[in-house]
Structures are given as C-alpha cells and as structure tokens.
Amino acid sequence: MYSIKQVATRLNCNPNAIRFYERKGLVNPYRDDNGYRKYSDKEVELLQFILLYRQLGFSIEGIKKICAQEGKSQLDVFTT
C-alpha cells in the first residue's frame, strides 16, 4: 500500500489531482484508522489510466464511463 505522496511521486502528479479524482468518484483509496489514504497497486494503475485519459482530453464523465465498464480493460476504449 502506498501513501498519496508516494503515488504522486511515482506518477509525477500533484497530490491535489489525486484528491480531486477521489472527490469525483474515480478512485476510492483505503483509509487507515487515522484517516490517511492508502493506495493499492490496482488503484495506482487506475490513476495511471485516469492521467493518460486526461492528457488525451477525455472529460471526467467520459473517464467514469470507461471505468464503469464491467469486464473490460481500460485500454479497450482504443480497440472497440
């Protein structure tokens, strides 16, 4: 599990961007007893896709739709 600072450093983004995506419902990190966010490898991977889609110009709503597709990879959007 990773802290928000570790994830931000790894993904080269601002921790506020990660908090924004959480507020928008795109990621849901585990919270410790003290309230600190903890991110799994799965959530870090999801954040990588979110950052990629944002760079490509996708809206938050568009990314939500992509993430909500059951049984599909986040990269399926490029092949279907």
Tokens of 22: 């959480």
Q: Which long-range contacts (CB under 8 A, 24 or more apart) does 54-62 make?
A: 60/24, 60/26
- 3-class DSSP state for residue 21? helix
Q: Note the helical H segments in the chain.
A: 4-11, 15-23, 41-55, 60-68
- 3-class DSSP state for residue 78? helix
- 3-class DSSP state for residue 30? strand
Please write the tens of the pLDDT for every residue from 35-65. Answer: 999 999 999 999 999 999 999 999 999 999 8
Q: What is the model's pTM?
A: 0.81
pLDDT band at 66 (very low <50, low <70, confident <90, very high): confident
